[in-house]
Amino acid sequence: MTRDLESRAPHGTSAPGATASGTRPSGTVPDDAWQILEQSLDGEVLRPEDAGYPAASRLFNRRFDDLRPAAVVFVHSADDVAESLRFARAHGVPVAVRSGGHSYAGWSSGHGRLVIDVRRMNHVTVHPGTALVGAGARLGDVYAALDEHGVTISGGTCPSVGVSGLTLGGGHGLLSRAYGLSCDNLVEATVVTADGMVRACGAETEPDLFWALRGGGNGSFGVVTELRLRTHAVHESSSADLAWPWSRAAEVLAAWQDWAPDLPDEMWSALRLHKDANGPSVSVVAFALGGHDALAERLRELPGERTVDTIRTEPHLDTVRRFAGDTAGPADRPCYDVRSGFFARSLSAEAIGAAITTVENAPAGIDVSMAAVAMGGAVNRRPPHETAFVHRHHRFLGQYEASWDPGGERPASAADADADAAAAAAAEQWLGAIYSALWPHSSGEAYQNDVDPRLPDWRHSYYGSATGRLEELKRRYDPDRMFDFPQAL
């Protein structure tokens, strides 16, 4: 069937193309077969000749605008998913599973693939202590719907990220130190596996698959259609923005890394070294549940003489929206790339110096950042093998991002294409430099939601000692590798 599709691509390539031997090119699927698929679904099938296809085939990151899936299926139910998988199997068309479309490597799409998109399954139903959420709901919509009931979930900060893509690979954010990661708050999931079976997974039913989905579930085991997530009461919360002159970046990073991971659970913080056309900058954001007195007190422990120093308390949803970094509309979507590493110890003065120099020396034409996101609290209190998210002993997650403006709409003019290629090469070079500078100081683990096709041993970095059990479950639930991409289990 779809066996060995992109897993044959050499590691280090991120192209999500589908050129498998043993897989029929999707162009050979007869037109009437596509029509029969459409008629058998409640959802919709969009093919390259359809007016809605260009928008439907796009991911969040413009870097992947050239991908040409064979079709995008907007499924409306688990039965639609099962029918789509049956079609893919019968016609030898490789599949890709998509929710919010934020995959850093474009693995929720691909040339010639049948993209199974769950975005129309976006309901949010509130129950005592939990919420039943359609797998295609976006975080911003989930937070807004839950806020009407005075509750929220532990999730990420970007409002357009899909709740399932986030949760199945971990999910850190403002509340993860207080209540655990998104995957720690997953109570049940409905998943359609490669055999077309709709499986309810929880602690009692399909416990092995339920274990795998919490950290290892992004695209490898089936299509998740619904999640039941634990909710938490929230009323007001507080946020702070701090900045210093760049000349004090080393002092600030040194102080922050010894401070943020040991804050009380109800507090969270991230630090950012950033460089764009305006030059380099160092800033810290912080969050606390409730009023801001205790947070203000703790912020005094960071270096003084700040150029920005604000703190406020607001209704929780307003605080969440303040942290929502991505407001890019379809017209100004960026191109970006990312790498990551977890850190179990504070960085030495030498490593801090290397990070600062690498940010400072970033080439012109790209924006770069090194973010450090506080872990600890409830994240680290889970035993490493209770879920497939094994990164439970770290002080912070380092995330390195390079972004650039790709110019006009695709197909690009020759000049835009040249500028885009030059920026992409500069981004690649800078990410390599910051990764090399900091990787030796990291634990060797990386965040599986920050997918990085260049990782030399991604199984170890993402899944550590959970790898063996995950691979065994992959063989059990997806023996023909229906769900396959370069870093599929």
Ligand X SMILES: Cc1cc2nc3c(=O)[nH]c(=O)nc-3n(C[C@H](O)[C@H](O)[C@H](O)COP(=O)(O)OP(=O)(O)OC[C@H]3O[C@@H](n4cnc5c(N)ncnc54)[C@H](O)[C@@H]3O)c2cc1C
- The amino acid present at 98, given as its one-letter code, is R
Binding mask 117-136 for ligand X (x = CB under 6 A): -x----------------x-
Q: How far is the CB of 214 from ligand X (least distance, A)?
A: 12
- From CA 2, how far away is CA 93, in angstroms rounded? 7
Between residue 279 and residue 318, which ones bind ligand X under the rule CB under 6 A?
none
Which of 43, 110, 112, 171 binds ligand X (CB under 6 A)? It is 171
Which of 43, 112, 159, 169 binds ligand X (CB under 6 A)? It is 169
Which of 16, 69, 112, 156 binds ligand X (CB under 6 A)? It is 156
Told to check if 43 binds ligand X by CB under 6 A, we report no
Query: How many binding residues for ligand X (CB under 6 A)?
Result: 33
Q: Give me 225's structure tokens.
A: 């259609």
Told to check if 73 binds ligand X by CB under 6 A, we report no
Which of 18, 85, 97, 249 binds ligand X (CB under 6 A)? It is 97
Between residue 321 and residue 350, which ones bind ligand X under the rule CB under 6 A?
326
- From CA 298, how far away is CA 256, in angstroms rounded? 11
Which of 154, 238, 449, 467 binds ligand X (CB under 6 A)? It is 449
Told to check if 379 binds ligand X by CB under 6 A, we report no
Which of 23, 84, 108, 387 binds ligand X (CB under 6 A)? It is 108
Stretch that binds ligand X, among 15-23, 65-73, 165-173, 417-425 (CB under 6 A): 165-173
Told to check if 107 binds ligand X by CB under 6 A, we report yes
- The residue (of 183 and 240) whose beta carbon lies closer to ligand X is 183
Stretch that binds ligand X, among 29-37, 169-177, 194-202, 236-244 (CB under 6 A): 169-177
Q: How far is the CB of 311 from ligand X (least distance, A)?
A: 21
Which of 133, 168, 295, 347 binds ligand X (CB under 6 A)? It is 168
- The residue (of 1 and 161) whose beta carbon lies closer to ligand X is 161
- The amino acid present at 334, given as its one-letter code, is P
Length of the chain: 489
Q: Give me 410's structure tokens.
A: 């695709």
Stretch that binds ligand X, among 46-54, 217-225, 242-250, 359-367 (CB under 6 A): 217-225
Told to check if 99 binds ligand X by CB under 6 A, we report yes
- From CA 209, how far away is CA 220, in angstroms rounded? 11
Which of 43, 101, 110, 140 binds ligand X (CB under 6 A)? It is 101
- The residue (of 117 and 420) whose beta carbon lies closer to ligand X is 117
Contact residues toward ligand X (CB under 6 A) are 60, 97-104, 107-108, 118, 135, 156-158, 161-162, 164-166, 168-173, 218-219, 223-224, 326, 449
